[in-house]
Structure 1
Amino acid sequence: MNEKLIYLSGEDVKNLRISSRQARDAILATFRDYAVGKVVGLPKLSIDTPSSLFSSLSSSSQAYGIAATKWIAVASEKEGIGRARVNGLICVSDYTSGSPVAVLDGNSITLIRTAATSTAAANYLAPKMPESIGLVGCGLQALSHLDAFVDLYPSLRKVYLYSRSRGSAESVAVAAAEKRREPIITKDSDMLVSKCDIVISTIPSAPDLESFLDARLLQSSSFVSAVDGGRSWRSDSLTSFDRLITDSLEQSGSPVDAASRPVKHIVFSEDLRHLTSGSSESSLRSKTLFAFRGFAIADLAIADLALRQARALGVGTTLPR
């Protein structure tokens, strides 16, 4: 056997210059296929240890001709000091032969697919001409979401930023200014929630985390994408949402609290499968929560997109088995 596979590093994925629109369209197409049984995706499996959380996400698509699994580890705050807390790889196999095709850096793919998943949901759920967006948490996900939402909504003018790190907020503020949007750094999370048409929360888990965002302060027509699963939103305020939606009901039944436990008195009613298949009821004015953990088929969609572009551009390193 002389099989070879391609390796795409984080820098390789960056060099592919996958646009926000390409990523969003790939997510939407894959969830449409999932709705009619053309894509298989399994709920996330996790192993929780005292030092790290390990998770695997598996999926396959006969139409794309691949099957993929993402292996991701999230280190505790203590173990993550001085290094990246989140580390992942994606392994891709040929759908028919089962032969390994590629290994991709999981961190860079996750950044793209998470923002693309948020905008895929916003495409159906957010106000049509939003003027303000609030980013709660100003790490890499905030930058990725800023790119994706400015692309989807040119109407956005103001970018409110909330972060425990002033330096992180200032970095995102620079990126917003470069896009000719007005950045507003604030330590008042209540003000941010009340002022914004769209709110993105990306707060990482932490032993001392307390939920602090109050959904009752949101405008009557607003959209929240809780990349953190909802942990930063006060559980006692979640009933003020008119609609609660996730990426996959098979994987998640409800938002999570600050300790990442399911909120028992709140349940999701719809997921991206319903939105993309047209079986979801539209609502012109509503407070909508889209809280999600990341579903396997979204990683499959972006991995397939990255591999196709890598082959077309000659990007990546060819490795022997």
Structure 2
Amino acid sequence: MLFAPSSAPSGVLDAAATAARLPWSDLADEIAALLKDPTVVVPQRAVLPLAQGGSLFVMPATDQSVAMTKLITFTPGNAGTGRPSIQGDVVVFDIATGERRLVLDGPTVTARRTAAVSLLAARHLAQVPQGPLLIVGAGVQGLAHAEAFIHGLGVREVWIASRSSASAQALAAQVRDLGVDVQVVADADAAVPHCPLIATCTTASALVLSAPPRPDAFLAAVGAFTPAMAELAPALCQHVARHGRILVDTSDALHEAGDLLQAGLDVAALPTLGEMVRSPGAAAPERRSGPVLFKSCGWAGWDLAAARLALRRASPAPAATAHWADPSA
């Protein structure tokens, strides 16, 4: 990788510098620690509809020493244009002094914390953590989940399915550079019987997976985060509810988990990741009782975990402002 000085002001990190502060396993550990921290306060995020079908997300959170807000735009119309669908920043403050400590790249934080949350859930619930892994969707989240599961679980084989053959091939090249075997498949459903790990990482504009997962499967669904969005067919969700277990990232999924809501499931009755992390013994028997669906909708607490880790990993100014090729570009 090539290094060059960054022109960003001190404390303002570009995508690559943000990623460097958030290694996969450490970020998953930080998320687990945050879920056990009673000082964490996370108000419900505000979502402001924008013209042209976009949204502005305002996501604050705090603990006893750090306050942060993520401000991002989600612009579905950018798909296929070369412009990212998610743009924005995470602004981090010191509570004691009120000082702004960091500005992190919002899309990078979003990608890494989302995949790290999936990694944390898989650590607890995946029956075959080494894979193979099926990635459905060849965008930023597809790459992030491939990296997280390769580095965090030891996955050595990745299958990729995408509506865009060119995007699938581009992601395959990036994942292959991580030193694992990769194959591109035209039909995600046909790959399901071969893959005990699955991550659906699309913009959820249409259903992308219908085949019921195998009995030992762990499926992380991260692309849908409104009631109108869904990646998974209702019958798939209902199958897992009957034969395995469904968890959600937080109780906010009651209003946001389109996959589950459209399947007619009682989301309020489902356990959360926090409940599992705080009572790990309760999850152990479930590892042997059918497929697991982990539904992730997003939460500002995950961004706070990233902010806490980034602050702890602060390095001297010259290193902190170094720049190198963004692996999610």
Q: TM-score, normalised by structure 2?
A: 0.83
Q: Which moved more, 1:90-99 or 1:180-189?
A: 90-99
Q: For residues 70 and 252 of structure 1, do their structure 2 counterparts lie closer, same or farther at Cα, with a shift above 3 Å needed?
A: farther
Deviation at 1:95, TM superposition (A): 1.8
In the alignment, does 2:31 pair up with 1:30? no
Which residue of 2 is the match for residue 228 of structure 1?
Answer: 223
Match of 1:303 in 2: 307
Contact 2:139–2:202 (8 Å) recurs in 1: no
Shift of 1:264: 6.1
Given candidates 9, 12, 24, the residue that maps to 1:7 is: 12
- CA distance, structure 2, for counterparts of residue 129 and residue 85 of structure 1: 30
Aligned residues of 1:215 and 1:240 also touching (Cα < 8 A) = no
Distance change (3 Å), C-alpha of 1:180 and 1:78: closer
Number of equivalences: 300
Q: CA deviation at 1:20?
A: 1.4
The aligned runs of 1:140-151 (5 Å cut-off) are: 140-151=140-151
Identify unmatched segments of 5+ residues in structure 2. 1-8, 322-329
Q: Deviations over 1:50-95 (max 9, x none)?
A: 3211111111111xx1111101101131698342221021111222
* Bigger mean CA offset, 115-124 vs 78-87: 78-87
The CA distance in 1 between the partners of 2:78 and 2:277, in whole Å, is 40
Structure (1/2) with the larger strand percentage: 1
Q: Write the mapping of 1:120-135 to structure 2, written as runs, cut at 5 A.
A: 120-135=120-135
SS in 2 for 1:297: helix
Which residue number corresponds to residue 100 of structure 1? Answer: 100
> In the alignment, is residue 21 of structure 1 matched against residue 22 of structure 2?
no
Structure with the larger helix share: 2
More deviation in 218-227 or 20-29? 20-29
Partner of 2:325: none
Identity level (%)? 26
8 A contact 2:22–2:306 mirrored in 1: no
Partner of 2:55: 53
* Superposition map of 1:214-253 within 5 A: 214-216=210-212, 218-229=213-224, 231-241=230-240, 242-252=244-254
Secondary structure of 1:127's counterpart equals coil
Conservation of the 8 A alpha-carbon contact between 2:217 and 2:291: yes
Q: How does 1:44-123 map to 2 (within 5 A)?
A: 44-51=45-52, 52-62=54-64, 65-77=65-77, 81-123=81-123
Identify the residue that residue 255 of structure 1 maps to in structure 2: 257
Name the SS of the counterpart of 1:40 in structure 2: coil
- Asked if 1:272 is matched to 2:273, the reply is yes
CA pair 18-312 structure 1, distance change in 2 beyond 3 A: farther
1:116-195 matches, within 5 Å, as 116-154=116-154, 156-195=155-194
Matched, 1:284 2:284: no
Across the aligned residues of Structure 1 and Structure 2, the Cα RMSD in angstroms comes to 2.4
> Mind listing any 5+ residue stretches in structure 1 that lack a counterpart?
none
